[in-house]
Amino acid sequence: MNFNSQTISIRPALKAEADILAQLTLYSGSNLMTTMFGGEKNVSRVIEKLCKSDSSVFSHRFSYVATIPQNNDAENEASQPVGIVTVHFSGQDAELEDTVSMALLDQIGAFHSLMLWPLTVMFHMCSLPIAQGESYVGVLAVHPDYRSRGIGAKLIESVEKDAYLAGDSAICLDVEIDNDRGLRFYERCGFQTVAVRHAPFFLQCRRIRGLRRMKKTLR
Ligand SMILES: CC(C)(COP(=O)(O)OP(=O)(O)OC[C@H]1O[C@@H](n2cnc3c(N)ncnc32)[C@H](O)[C@@H]1OP(=O)(O)O)[C@@H](O)C(=O)NCCC(=O)NCCS
């Protein structure tokens, strides 16, 4: 793939590309999402519904995508997204609704949704609240074919500018404890670990080890 970091563009995500947003979102934590969202058969559809929704944590409204020109056509506006970042600036959490339960109910039915409930509760036990005045990055992923070319760094850079303009003083995020590459990447971008929460036993059995909260102060 022939491109340099100057040719990477960042733009707001579109509702119409929810299927691509869902694929990219899944790369940010496929085991975690597959476990929490009803297994391999259902996970893509559940995430797609959440990307389409206007008020879910994964909504297209809170997402930005990285594109690169396809077929050497630098003007091609229809370039497909190859990376995604989803960010909630301080205060935007008020716009979020519990659309996850609805999407699960719709996709996997009441019985299976209920079976997942204990896992959801356990997962919440290892997440931490977000302080006032901080932006939260919920998703960051680059398509495997396009990694190690500066796209992830560009997405984070763009979020940092927007968070600063929104008046936030820091950006925080959670990365899975065993995601060594993600950890290295965020450290290189200037994030520091502020807390580590290990998952309860039943999540550990599903290879969900826990979350590392990282933070970067904006100046
Ligand atoms: C973490 C992730 C988003 C980083 O995206 P990325 O586009 O690969 O990130 P960058 O290219 O900016 O930086 C990553 C690497 O490229 C190298 N790099 C950056 N710019 C480069 C360039 N112009 N040319 C060559 N290499 C470059 C960096 O040194 C770094 O090295 P590494 O191979 O040791 O990781 C990506 O690996 C990913 O999608 N991972 C799976 C999902 C995930 O873990 N998300 C984070 C947790 S939610």
130 lines ligand 1 (CB under 6 A): no
Q: What is the pLDDT of residues 134-149, one digit of tens each?
A: 999 999 999 999 999 9
Beta strands per DSSP E along the chain: 9-12, 63-67, 81-88, 134-142, 170-176, 192-198, 210-217
Q: Residue 66 pairs with which residues in a beta bridge? A: 10, 83
Q: Mean pLDDT of all residues in the chain?
A: 89
Measured between alpha carbons, how far is 191 from 64 in angstroms, rounded to an integer? 20
Question: Percentage of the chain surpassing pLDDT 70?
Answer: 93
* Residue 139 CA to ligand 1 centre (angstroms): 14
pLDDT of residue 132: 92
Measured between alpha carbons, how far is 74 from 8 in angstroms, rounded to an integer? 10
Q: Which residue has the higher pLDDT, 163 or 36?
A: 163
21: tokens are 């947003």
pLDDT of residue 202: 84
Q: Which residue has the higher pLDDT, 202 or 153?
A: 153
Which residue segments constitute the domains of the chain, with CATH numbers given? 5-217 (3.40.630.30)
70 lines ligand 1 (CB under 6 A): no
pTM of the model: 0.91
pLDDT band at 106 (very low <50, low <70, confident <90, very high): confident
Q: Cβ(82)–Cβ(142) under 8 Å?
A: yes
Q: What is the pLDDT of residues 29-48, one digit of tens each?
A: 999 999 888 888 889 999 99
Q: What atom of ligand 1 comes closest to residue 179's alpha carbon?
A: 44
Q: Ligand 1 pocket check: which of 148, 151, 213 to mutate, most ligand atoms within 8 Å of Cβ?
A: 148
pLDDT of residue 65: 98
Q: Ligand 1 pocket check: which of 21, 30, 86, 149 to mutate, most ligand atoms within 8 Å of Cβ?
A: 149
Q: Ligand 1 pocket check: which of 33, 137, 143, 147 to mutate, most ligand atoms within 8 Å of Cβ?
A: 147
